[in-house]
Amino acid sequence: MPDRTKSSDISPRAWRVLAVSTLAFTACFMVWMMFGVIGIPLQKQLGLNATEFGLLTAMPVLSGSLVRVPLGIWTDRYGGRIVMMLVMVFTVPAVWLIAYATQFWQLLVIGLFVGLAGGSFSVGTPYVARWFPPNRQGMAMGVYGAGNSGSAVNKFLAPSLIVLGGWTLVPQVYAAILLGTAALFWLFSAHDPRHLVTGDVKFSEQLKALKDPRVLKYCQYYSIVFGGYVALALWMVQYYVGEYGLDIRVAALLAACFSLPGGVLRAIGGALSDKYGAHRITWWVLWVSWICLFLLSYPQADLIIATASGPKTVHIGINVYVFTGLLAILGVAFAFGKASVFKYISDDYPGNIGAISGIVGLAGGLGGFVLPIMFGILQDLTGIRSSAFMLLYGVVWVSLIWMYRTEVRSTDVIGGPAANAASRKG
C-alpha cells in the first residue's frame, strides 16, 4: 500500500527543522548572490568589461559548486546540523573582508571563500528530507529550496544599503545577518542519529554515481533550471541597467520579479512533483522555458522596409514590461523544475540522497559559474545583450531532446506509469 502520511502525522520537530533550515539557506543564498548587485558599482569603480563582471559574479558560484559533493557526503555521515552550522560560521569572515578589498584579484580570491555559503544547499536537502516520509519529501525539499528567494532578498536589501552607505556597507551587514542566522539555526535545529548513513564510503566511490546515465541526465536538467536561475539572478540587474537605462534600485526590483518566484514557488513545485511525478513536471518546465527563452532571445532591432513612398524604419523589440513578464514566467518554470529534479533523486536514490544531490547540485552550480562568464564573452564579442538568452535557449534544447529520447518516446501518455518507469531506466 502506498504511504499516505498526512501533514498532521509529521512531528513538530520535523517542521521546526524545516523552517529554521530554510531560513539558514535563505541567508546563505542571499550572501552567495551578493556580487550580482554590488558588482555594478564595482564594475564602474574598477573599469571592468562584461567578461570580467561575469567572472566576478561567478567566483562564489564556482567554489560553492565544488564543495557540494563533499558537503553532501559529510551530511550523510555526520548529520546536517553540525555541517550547516560550520558552513555558515566559516563563511562570515570572508563576507566581512569583501568591504576591505580594493583590487579585482582580491575580490576574486575572497569570492571563492564566500562561495562556501552556496554549498549549504547539498547540506540542507538530505538533512530536511530525512525528517519526512517518502511521499512528503518532495514537498520538504521544495520548501527548503525556496531559500533560493535569498536572491530576491539580496535585490531588495543591497541597493538600499548601497544608497545609504556605499557598496562596502553591504558585506558588513550581510556578515552580521549570517552570524545571527547561524545562532538561530543552532538553537532551533535538531539531530537524529538514525538519519546518518553508516559505513565508510570513500569520495571516489561516491563519484562512481556519475557512470549512472540517470545521474548524468539529472545533472543536465539541473544545469538549466538551477544553473540558469543562478546565472540570470546574477546577470539581470546589470542587464536592466544597460538595456533599459534604469536606476539600480528599479533594476533590482524588476529583477526580483524573476528571482522571487524562482525561489519561493519551488515549494509548490515539490508538492506538484509528489502528486504528479517528477517526469511530468520536468517535461512541461522545459517546454515553457524553451518558449520564454525563444521570445527573450530576440534583440532590439530596427527593420528598414522599402515602401512606395520611400524607406521606413520599424522598431522590433521587447519593452521592459513584456520582458519582465516573460522573465517572471521563466522564474516560475525554473522553480518547479528545481524541485522536480530533486524528486527524481529522492525516488531513485533514497539511501544516497546526500551524495547524489551533491553531484547534481555540483552540475547545477557549475552551470551557474560558467554561464555568467559566457554571457559576458558573448556580449563583448557580439554587443548583443540578449545573446545570454540565446545561449540558454540552446541548453534547454539539449535537455528536451535528451528527455524525449529517454523518457517520452517510450510512452504515449506524458507522465503516466510507463513514463515514470522509463525515467528510472535512464
Give the SS3 label for residue 313: strand
Given this model, what pLDDT does residue 324 score? 94
Instruction: Give residue for cell 498532521.
Output: 8
Given this model, what pLDDT does residue 209 score? 67
Q: Is the pLDDT of residue 25 over 90?
A: yes
Provide the 10 A C-beta neighbour count for residue 6: 9
Given this model, what pLDDT does residue 350 score? 74
Share of the chain above pLDDT 70, in %: 89
- State mean pLDDT over 118-144: 85
Please check whether residue 198 lies inside any domain of the structure.
no
Q: Is the pLDDT of residue 167 over 70?
A: yes
pTM: 0.79
d(CA 20, CA 9): 20
- State mean pLDDT over 248-264: 87
Give the SS3 label for residue 132: coil
Please check whether residue 38 lies inside any domain of the structure.
yes
- State mean pLDDT over 126-144: 84
- Which amino acid, 55? L
**Total domain count for the chain?**
1
pLDDT band at 131 (very low <50, low <70, confident <90, very high): confident
- Which amino acid, 176? A
Please check whether residue 5 lies inside any domain of the structure.
no
Please check whether residue 296 lies inside any domain of the structure.
yes
Please check whether residue 242 lies inside any domain of the structure.
yes
Distances, alpha carbon 195 to alpha carbons 78, 81, 198, in Å: 9, 11, 9
- State mean pLDDT over 293-315: 87
pLDDT band at 425 (very low <50, low <70, confident <90, very high): very low
Q: What is the mean pLDDT of the chain?
A: 85
Given this model, what pLDDT does residue 334 score? 93
CB neighbour list of residue 181: distance below 8 Å, 6 or more residues apart: 23, 24, 27, 88
Q: Is the pLDDT of residue 87 over 60?
A: yes
Question: Please, what's the b/e burial string for 39-67 (b: 16 or more CB within 10 A of its CB; e: otherwise)?
Answer: bbebbeeeebebbbbbbbbbbbbbbbbbb
Q: Extract the C-alpha cell encoding 244.
A: 533599459
Given this model, what pLDDT does residue 277 score? 86
Phi, psi of 150 (to 5 degrees): -55, -25
pLDDT in tens, 314-371: 888 889 999 999 999 999 999 899 888 888 887 887 767 667 777 887 888 888 889 9
Q: Is the pLDDT of residue 417 over 90?
A: no
Domain range for 300 is 13-191+209-425
d(CA 292, CA 188): 41
Q: Is the pLDDT of residue 250 over 90?
A: yes
Please check whether residue 6 lies inside any domain of the structure.
no
Provide the 10 A C-beta neighbour count for residue 69: 24
Provide the 10 A C-beta neighbour count for residue 241: 18
pLDDT in tens, 386-416: 999 999 999 999 888 888 887 776 554 444 4
CATH number of the structural domain spanning residue 45: 1.20.1250.20
Q: Are 95 and 174 in contact (CB under 8 A)?
A: yes
pLDDT in tens, 257-268: 898 887 778 778
Given this model, what pLDDT does residue 2 score? 43
d(CA 19, CA 314): 53
Residue 418 or 132, more confident = 132
pLDDT band at 210 (very low <50, low <70, confident <90, very high): low
Q: Extract the C-alpha cell encoding 104.
A: 579585482
Please check whether residue 4 lies inside any domain of the structure.
no
Q: Is the pLDDT of residue 203 over 70?
A: no
- State mean pLDDT over 297-313: 86
Residue 337 or 214, more confident = 337
Please check whether residue 204 lies inside any domain of the structure.
no
- State mean pLDDT over 140-164: 88
Residue 20 or 309, more confident = 20
Given this model, what pLDDT does residue 38 score? 93
